[in-house]
Amino acid sequence: MACIALLEAGYSDEAFGTARSIIECSLSLRYMTLDRGKIDSRSNDYVDFLFCEKKYFLEQCRKYLSPGADLDAVEAFAEREGIEDRWASIVPDRMRKKNLPFNDWKLIENSDWNGWKIATEPHPLDSQINHGDWIRRQYAGDYRGGSAMVHCSIRSLDNIFADSGIAFKVGENIKTTFDHRTEPLIIIVTNLYLMVRYTFYGANVDGAECFDKPFEDASSKLVYLRQS
């Protein structure tokens, strides 16, 4: 809905950046289901990471809230939920010893996991859904391109603006070198499909032919080949 609202308001580039979130969701499910023997443990890691984020915001509350009813309520919630203990128990020893930032739930298992590795690691469903490696192309184009938009990187500015010498600013009538009016919708549909397929696989449910048919020739669609 956020992407549609941005598209309707004329902010197609911002919708393209916002669509990155659903790609992250499909990548997370791909990672969880790469190995059947690790589906349960990785799913639990995903849920447990919630406590890591709660601990982070607990520290922010302690830092910025003045003593009083609001802070007392936060502390009571933290004690009731066991945020301190549960968060500490899932931080990998290698990260705790080196005082490394713990900002990605996949690091619980392995510090080497990243989006590109997940997109290129063989998945049991690849023979059905990844003909022509379009998932790899999608990650390289849509995810990395969306990330550049989100973070306003120099590469993004060079890629988006016809005149790369102009300073980045939010304003009206800014022309881009790529039309993002339809791409966010394609990203949403594609990754909803991937999420359902990975979820079916993780739950040991066979995908229905009628569900797969609209996507069976995805590798031949030019929409997966970015032009910018």
- Name the burial class of residue 85, with classes exposed (0-12), middle (13-18) and buried (19+) by CB atoms within 10 angstroms of its CB: exposed
Q: Does the structure show a pLDDT above 80 at 41?
A: yes
Give percent of the chain with pLDDT exceeding 90.
26
Q: What is the pLDDT of residue 163?
A: 47
Mean pLDDT of all residues belonging to the chain: 78
pTM of the shown model:
0.74
Q: What is the pLDDT of residue 118?
A: 92
Q: Are residues 18 and 76 in the same domain?
A: no
What are the tens digits of pLDDT across the range 139-197? 888 888 788 778 776 555 554 444 444 444 444 555 555 667 788 888 888 898 899 89
End position of a domain, from candidates 88, 110, 132:
110
Q: Give the CA distances from residue 189 to residues 27, 68, 154, 175, 196, in Å, rounded to whole numbers and listed in that order.
A: 15, 47, 29, 26, 11
Q: Pick the range with the lowest mean pLDDT from 12-16, 39-43, 68-72, 89-93.
A: 89-93
Q: Are residues 22 and 64 in the same domain?
A: no
Q: Are residues 41 and 20 in the same domain?
A: no
Q: Are residues 158 and 193 in the same domain?
A: yes
Q: Are residues 147 and 227 in the same domain?
A: yes
What are the tens digits of pLDDT across the range 203-222? 888 766 666 666 665 545 54
Q: What is the pLDDT of residue 223?
A: 45
Q: Are residues 179 and 102 in the same domain?
A: no
What is the b/e burial string over 25-55, where b = at least 16 CB atoms within 10 angstroms of the residue's CB? ebbbbbbbbbeeeebeebeebbeebebbebb
Q: Are residues 91 and 106 in the same domain?
A: yes
Q: Are residues 209 and 135 in the same domain?
A: yes
End position of a domain, from candidates 60, 84, 110:
110
Domain housing 93 = 37-110
Query: CB–CB of 223/188 below 8 Å?
Result: no
Q: Are residues 130 and 17 in the same domain?
A: yes
Could you give the CA distance from residue 153 to residue 26 in angstroms, rounded to a whole number?
A: 24
Q: Are residues 146 and 227 in the same domain?
A: yes
What is the b/e burial string over 144-153, where b = at least 16 CB atoms within 10 angstroms of the residue's CB? bbbbbbeeee
Q: Are residues 193 and 90 in the same domain?
A: no
Residue that the structure tokens 């500490």 belong to: 88
Is residue 207 assigned to a domain?
A: yes
